[in-house]
Each structure stands twice: as structure tokens, then as C-alpha cells.
Amino acid sequence: MLTEINGELIPQIEYVVFRKCTPAWRMPRHILTAWDITYVAEGRAQYSIDEEEYNLTAGDLICLPPRTRREGVTVPDHLMQCFSVNFRLTNLKGENVRLPFPIQSHIGLAKDVIHLFHDLSFVWLDKQPGYALKTRGIFLLILHRLFELASSIPSGSGETDARIQKITRYIAKHYAERILVKNMAALVGLHTGYFGALFHQETGVTMNQYIIRTRVRNAENMLRSGEYKVKEVAEACGYCDDLHFFKQFKAVMGMPPSACIPKRNN
């Protein structure tokens, strides 16, 4: 029995690898016995998944359920580097859970996601006492971040304007930079006024509200890692004024940034 995501996830990780392909690298055809998530950090590859061909490029997320048939090769002139995790996933009742990601989605290159994957790989290989619990925690952070990135990408059902898709993907990659409505309108060849109305129609918020929400969600993720100070997070997410960051964060999240920093036991 498969149930949908309800926030109660218990992953059991079976394998973690940071794969750096050689020109002769080839993944032989096999059938997965567990879930597999692959995040392409660099280069390209060609996969056959259930007899369908997929071209992978940096920033792609591949999500495959058990019993999927898969094989692949890298592109020799653009050697792939990727993170892959094999895992089983249940809820608190012990029921199998189905992830909501499509087989292939382009979520872009996110430095915080790459950092989390590197941490996961290191802890998995280091095998210090308690590593299983720590890898589970890091992987849940990765899943949470992937959900956020995927939610900023339109579903591809044909109901979302392709021009707005392009802009939301741009924002997901460049949210820490200064992004102007007029520049985004020019990027998709629209008049500024029409672009603003179309963006609101497609997303339910103005472009500036969307940028603020994206910045704050990324800031929350960094703060919850416990690895950064509030000022560092503010700067990394595009804020040069700490007070401005505090106000926007509290307006979106309903709490101050400091409330997201995990308390440490001395």
C-alpha cells in the first residue's frame, strides 16, 4: 500500500554515493529494489528509465521508485558528477510512502543542497557512532529543501504560462541577487505592466512578494542547519540591512529568525 506525503517521513538509507564519472563510466541495466534520488551537480548523462530515454544535465533531479528499470552513460565531453541516495520510505504507521516528484525535474543548482549532499556523503562514509541517525536527519533536510525547490517549478500541466515558468526558475537560482520587475519582463519580452499582472495571475502573488517568500524560505533552511549566524544568512539571501531582513522574515514566518536556530546542549 502506498500513501501520499503527509509530513511523517521515516527514511531508511541503504546507499549514498557522490559519483564522479570517468569517460568510460556506464551504469549497467538493473531493476531498483528501493527508491533512488539522483541530483546532477555537474556535466551530462543519458539514462534509459523503463525503456524511455532521458538526457540529464546539471541541476536535474531524478526520482525513481522501486522496481524501476534503469541504465545510463555519461557524456564523454561533459563528465557527470552527481549525488545518489538509495532508500526506503515509510510513515509512522509503517506504510510505504510515494514521493511526489516526477521522474525528471530541473530544480537548478542550489549551493545549500549540494552542501547537504556532501555532508550526507561524508557522514555515510565516515561511519562514526550514531551515523545512521545523523544521515537520516541530513537526508530529511535534503528532502525538505527539494520539496521547496520543486514547489517553485510549475507542474507542466499546460495551465501555467511558460514565460512565468522561466521567471520562477530564474528566481529560484538568483534569489539572493537584485531582481527587478522591468528586467524580468524584458527577459520574456513583455511590457512591464502586463508582465506584473500575468505573474500575479499565475502565482497568486506579485513578483516582489514571490522573491521575498523565496528568500525567507531559503533563510529558514540555512538557519535550521545551525551552521550560520543570522547576519550571515541575511547576507547570503540578498539582504544588506539586518532590520529589513528581520521584518520580512517575521512577516512571512510569523517568528523572528533567531527562533529557527536549533538550541545546542553544552
* Cβ-based neighbours of 115, under 8 Å, separated by 6 or more: none
> Which string of b and e fits 166-187 if b means at least 16 CB within 10 Å?
ebbbbbbeebbeebebeebbee
Q: Is the pLDDT of residue 31 over 60?
A: yes
Helices (H), the chain: 111-126, 131-151, 162-174, 181-187, 192-203, 207-224, 230-236, 242-253
Please give the C-alpha separations between residue 111 and each of 79, 115, 142, 145, 185, in angstroms, as whole numbers.
20, 6, 12, 11, 26
Q: Using pLDDT thresholds of 50, 70 and 90, give the confidence band for residue 82.
A: very high
pLDDT score at 157? 41
Lowest mean pLDDT segment, chosen from 41-55, 146-160, 166-180: 146-160
DSSP 229-240: -HHHHHHHTT-S
Report the share of the chain in percent with pLDDT over 70.
92
**pLDDT tens across 51-78, in order?**
999 999 999 999 999 999 999 999 999 9
CB 168 within 8 A of CB 204: no
pTM value? 0.59
62, β-bridge pairs = 38, 104
Q: Could you tell me the residue ranges of all domains in the chain?
A: 2-151, 162-260
Looking at domain 162-260, does it have CATH number 1.10.10.60? yes
- 3-class SS of residue 28: strand
What pLDDT, on a 0 to 100 scale, did the predictor assign at position 133?
Answer: 92
Per-residue model confidence as pLDDT tens digits over 197-246: 999 888 888 999 999 999 998 898 888 888 888 999 999 999 999 999 99
* Domain spanning 2-151: CATH 2.60.120.280: yes
The whole-number pLDDT of residue 91 equals 84
Whether 62 and 97 have beta carbons less than 8 Å apart is answered as no
Helix boundaries (H) for 47-126: 111-126
In 3-state terms, what secondary structure has residue 18?
Answer: strand
Longest dimension (CA), the chain: 59
